[in-house]
A and B are shown apart, each in its own frame.
Chain A
C-alpha cells in the first residue's frame, strides 16, 4: 500500500511545530517522544504501521479549533483518531501529519429522556452510551463488535453498524446532531435534538466520511427503549444455498428480525471449539435469527420463523428458552474472530456487501478462489443485509502469504461489485480498500466525491491518502469545459 509521499519540509520542521503546538494547548497534550508516538502508530488494521509527526491530545473544543487553525495556516496534515479500532486503516498515521487523538473527550454531557437522546463527547465508547441509560430501560442501538472500545466519534466517521442494524439502522440512522470543527478551525453545529434540519444534510455527509471532512467534537444520539423480550433461533442447514434462501423467505414473510447472522462450516466448527455454544457440527451453514419486542409478538414470530425454516429444509433447529441460552447462541458468533485466530496464525478480515440472493454464487466463487490461492477461508455474514465477513487464513511468517491473502481478499471484493454489491458494508474504505475504489466507481464518480471534499478541505489536509486512490488538486477538479455559445446536439427538441 503506497501512502502519499511525506513532505520532508514538514518533517524537518517537527521541533518547531511541536513547540508551536505547546503554545496553543497544554504541554502534556502534545506527545513527541518516539515511545509516546509508538502507541499510536497503527489502528485495527495492524499490518500497517507509521509513526506520526506528533500526537496531539486536546481537552476542549477550543483547543481542537486552535490546532486545526494552526495546521491549516501552516499546511500541516491532520489524521483524526478516536479509539483506533478501525479495521480499514482510517486512523493510520502519516509521517508528515499530526495525529489528533480525541481520547480525552470522554464525558457524557446530557441524558435527555423526554427528547430521547444522549449528548456525548466523541471519545466516549459506544457501549458507555448504553451503560449510561440502561438502568432507565433505554439503550443505544448501533452495536459494532468493537463496541466495548470503539468511540462514538469514530462510529460517526465510519458510519458503524452491528448485528442489529437490519432492524435498527446504522450510526447515520441514529444520529441527531453533531458539533464539527472544520480544518479552518471553525466550530459548526449540525442537527440537534430536533429530527429534521431543513438545509443540506451535511451531518449525513459527515457520517461515514472517514475523517476527511472535519473533526466531530460532540454527538447527539437517539436512544431507544429496550425491547421487552429477545429470543433467538439457531438453525442448521446442509447447504449454504438453502440457508441463504431461508433468509429471504423470512423477509418475504414480512418479518424483520433484530438480527440474522450466518456462518459457514469452517466458522461453525472453529466457533464451537472455542465457545461450546451447541452449534451443529457438520452443518454447512448456520443461521442465528434474533427476534425482539413484546413477549407475545416474539413468541408468535418464533413460531412463524420456525415454519419458514422447516419448509426451507433446515437440518436442525433450536430456540432459546432463557436469556442464558440466547447469550450462548451468540457466544459462538461473537467469538468467531478469535476462534478463527486459534486455527490459523493470522487471518485477514474482509468486509463487502452483495445482494443476498447472490450468496450461493458467492460461496461457489470463494471456494474456487480458496483453491486458486491455496488459502482457507471461513465465513461469517450479516445475512439479513448481505454483508459478508470472509476471514482469510494465512501465516505471515511464510514468505508471500500475506500478499496472497491480500490478493485473495481483493478478488472477493471484486466479486462483490461484479455481483451488484459494494466494496465495504461497515468497515470503511480507509487505506485497505482505497485502491479498489475504481472497481466500484468511475473516474467521474470519484471526482464528484472529491469535489465535495474540496468544499470542506480545499488543501487536502484532513486524512489524505485514505478512501481515494488518486488525489486531485481542487483547482483541477473545479475546472470546467464549457463550449461557450455553442449549441451541442441541435436536434434535441426544445420547447
Chain B
C-alpha cells in the first residue's frame, strides 16, 4: 500500500511502477471494489488523502473538490447552499456490504447515477473538468471550471465510468444545481410490465414534467410501505416549487383517477430506497443491473422470468433493471441473451454472492472492434497498464 498526498507523489509512484513493471490498484475508501473483475495487483495506490472542498461558488453552480472527499461531505457542503449533484448518486453500501457511500472519485470512476438520471443526466453529464496523472506518470488537465466549454476533447466523459483504468484524478469540478423545493410521488397500479411502461410513456408525453419513474412489483411496493392494488406499481416523482408540484399532480390524477399520491417525506424515503437498491438487499443470490431501452424491459423480464426465480424492479422508466437471481453464469448469460434479443444495452454484475465472476465477466463483453478501440484508448493513457489493469475487461 502506497499512500500519496497529491498528484506529484502519485506521479512518482506511477513512474516507479512503470520502471518495475508493476500493476497498481488505485483506491481510496474501497467501497466499490466489489464492482468489476477480480484481479490481483502488485500494490495499492491509496488516494484517500486527496480530500477537501477546493472551491464552491453556488451562484456560479460550480464545485471543485478533491476526488478522495467522502460523498457525505460533498453532499453536506452542497446542502448548506441548498444545492445538489443532480445525478443523484446511489449509495450502494447496504447492497455491497461496505461501510459508506465512498468518495466522489469513486462515484465518478463508476459513473454512478440514480433516479434523476432519466431526466437530468448521469455523473458524466456534470463533470466539467479535472486534473490527473496518466498511467504514463504525466500530469494533465482537461475541461475547465466553467459550465460551457468545447475546448479540445471532452476527456471528462471518458474518465467517468473508466474505473480508474486511465488516470488518477485529484481535483474535479462539477456543475451543481439548486435542490428542488419539494417533491411528491404518484402511484399507479398496473396489471403487468407492458402496461406499466406504457403508463410511464403516457405521463412523459404530458407537459407535467415528471422527473423520475420507477416500476415495482406490487409485493415489493407493499413491503416498502406503498400499498396500491396491481401486480406492478408505477411510481412517478414530481419535483419543483410547491404550487407547481401540486398543480401537476392534480392534472395527472384527473387524467387517471386510479392513482394515489404520497407526500414529500414518504416520497423522499421511497426514492432513496429505490436509488440505493435497498429493495434487493435482503434477496438471496446475485444482483445484476441492466440498462436497456425502456420499451424493451417487459420482454427482457418475461424472458428471464421464464427460466429463473428472480426479484426485480425498474428505474429510469424501465430503462434500468435491477435483478436478484441465482448465482452462477447461467443467469447473467440469460440476461445478456434477452438483452441482445431486444435491442441494445448492457448487463453488469453488481453483487456477487458466490464467485460468479469466475465464470462470467461482470462487465458486458465488448465486440472485437470495440475491444480493439478500448485497448488503444487504454494504451493512450496507460501504455504499460500500471492502473487498475483488467478491472473492466481482460487486458484493459
Residue of A nearest to B208 (CB): A294
Q: Which residues of A contact B348 (CB under 8 A)?
A: 198
A248 within 8 A of B: yes
CB within 8 Å of A: which B291-336 residues: 291-296, 316, 319-320
Q: Is the CB of A454 within 8 A of B380?
A: yes
Q: Is the CB of B19 within 8 A of A484?
A: yes
Q: Is the CB of A444 within 8 A of B139?
A: yes
A441 within 8 A of B: yes
**A114-B201, A201-B157, A382-B148 as given contacts; A456 in contact with B381, CB under 8 Å:** no
CB distance from B64 to the nearest CB of A (A): 11
Residue of B nearest to A136 (CB): B205
A397 within 8 A of B: no
Residue of A nearest to B46 (CB): A495
- The contact string, 1 if C-beta is below 8 Å from chain B, for chain A 460-495, is 000000010000000000101011111111001111
A186 within 8 A of B: yes
**A188-B370, A197-B346 as given contacts; A251 in contact with B59, CB under 8 Å:** yes
Q: Is the CB of B320 within 8 A of A385?
A: no
Q: Which residues of A contact B364 (CB under 8 A)?
A: 198-199
A341 within 8 A of B: no
Q: Which residues of B contact A205 (CB under 8 A)?
A: 153-155, 157-158
A297 within 8 A of B: yes
Q: Is the CB of B153 within 8 A of A452?
A: yes
Q: Is the CB of B60 within 8 A of A356?
A: yes
Q: Please classify the interface of chain B as helix (H, G, I), strand (E, B), loop, or mixed, using the class held by over half of its residues.
A: mixed
B161 within 8 A of A: yes
CB distance from B52 to the nearest CB of A (A): 19
**A136-B205, A455-B379, A488-B12 as given contacts; A429 in contact with B146, CB under 8 Å:** no
Q: Is the CB of B154 within 8 A of A114?
A: no
**A293-B209, A428-B150 as given contacts; A252 in contact with B58, CB under 8 Å:** yes
- The contact string, 1 if C-beta is below 8 Å from chain A, for chain B 253-277, is 0000000000000000000000000
A116 within 8 A of B: yes
B79 within 8 A of A: no
Q: Is the CB of B57 within 8 A of A355?
A: yes
Q: Is the CB of B3 within 8 A of A357?
A: no
A-B contact count (CB 8 A): 308
CB distance from A294 to the nearest CB of B (A): 5
Q: Which residues of A contact B376 (CB under 8 A)?
A: 454-456
Q: Is the CB of B149 within 8 A of A200?
A: no
**A172-B125, A173-B125, A444-B140 as given contacts; A198 in contact with B148, CB under 8 Å:** no
Residue of B nearest to A495 (CB): B1
Q: Which residues of A contact B149 (CB under 8 A)?
A: 353, 422, 424-425
CB distance from B184 to the nearest CB of A (A): 14
A169 within 8 A of B: yes
CB distance from B133 to the nearest CB of A (A): 10
**A301-B241, A452-B155 as given contacts; A186 in contact with B125, CB under 8 Å:** no
- The contact string, 1 if C-beta is below 8 Å from chain B, for chain A 406-432, is 000000000000001111111111000
CB distance from A292 to the nearest CB of B (A): 10
- Please count how many residues in chain A sit with their CB below 8 Å of the partner chain's CB atoms: 108
Residue of B nearest to A227 (CB): B207
Q: Is the CB of A225 within 8 A of B146?
A: no
Residue of B nearest to A354 (CB): B146
**A199-B370, A205-B154 as given contacts; A293 in contact with B244, CB under 8 Å:** yes
**A196-B122, A225-B206, A300-B244 as given contacts; A495 in contact with B155, CB under 8 Å:** no
Other-chain contact of A204, B82, B158, B240, B293 (Cβ < 8 Å): B158
Q: Which residues of B contact A192 (CB under 8 A)?
A: 293, 343-345
Q: In the assembly, what is the distance between CA of A195 and CA of B18, in Å? A: 36
CB distance from B12 to the nearest CB of A (A): 5
A254 within 8 A of B: yes
A193 within 8 A of B: yes
Q: Is the CB of B61 within 8 A of A201?
A: no
Other-chain contact of A452, B2, B59, B377 (Cβ < 8 Å): B377
B138 within 8 A of A: yes
Q: In the assembly, what is the distance between CA of A4 and CA of B208, in Å? A: 53
CB distance from B377 to the nearest CB of A (A): 5
Q: Is the CB of B15 within 8 A of A483?
A: yes
CB distance from A202 to the nearest CB of B (A): 7
Of A158, A203, A255, A455, chain B has the most CB atoms within 10 Å of the CB of A455
A83 within 8 A of B: no
CB distance from B115 to the nearest CB of A (A): 12
B162 within 8 A of A: yes
B145 within 8 A of A: yes
B94 within 8 A of A: no
CB within 8 Å of A: which B162-188 residues: 162, 177-179, 181
Q: Which residues of A contact B380 (CB under 8 A)?
A: 448, 451-452, 454-455
Q: In the assembly, what is the distance between CA of A137 and CA of B198, in Å? A: 17
Q: Which residues of A contact B124 (CB under 8 A)?
A: 201, 204
- The contact string, 1 if C-beta is below 8 Å from chain A, for chain B 95-136, is 000000000000000010100011001101100000000101
- The contact string, 1 if C-beta is below 8 Å from chain B, for chain A 151-192, is 000000011010001100110110001000010001011001
**A115-B294, A159-B150, A355-B145 as given contacts; A488 in contact with B204, CB under 8 Å:** no
Q: Which residues of A contact B147 (CB under 8 A)?
A: 166, 353, 385-386
A145 within 8 A of B: no
B392 within 8 A of A: yes
Q: Is the CB of B345 within 8 A of A294?
A: no
**A201-B157, A248-B59, A444-B140 as given contacts; A424 in contact with B204, CB under 8 Å:** no
Q: Which residues of B contact A112 (CB under 8 A)?
A: 295
Between A and B, 24 residue pairs with Cβ closer than 8 Å are A137-B207, A193-B293, A198-B291, A198-B348, A199-B161, A205-B158, A213-B153, A228-B207, A294-B207, A294-B247, A297-B244, A353-B149, A385-B146, A424-B151, A428-B150, A433-B151, A437-B152, A447-B140, A449-B153, A452-B158, A455-B376, A478-B379, A487-B19, A495-B1
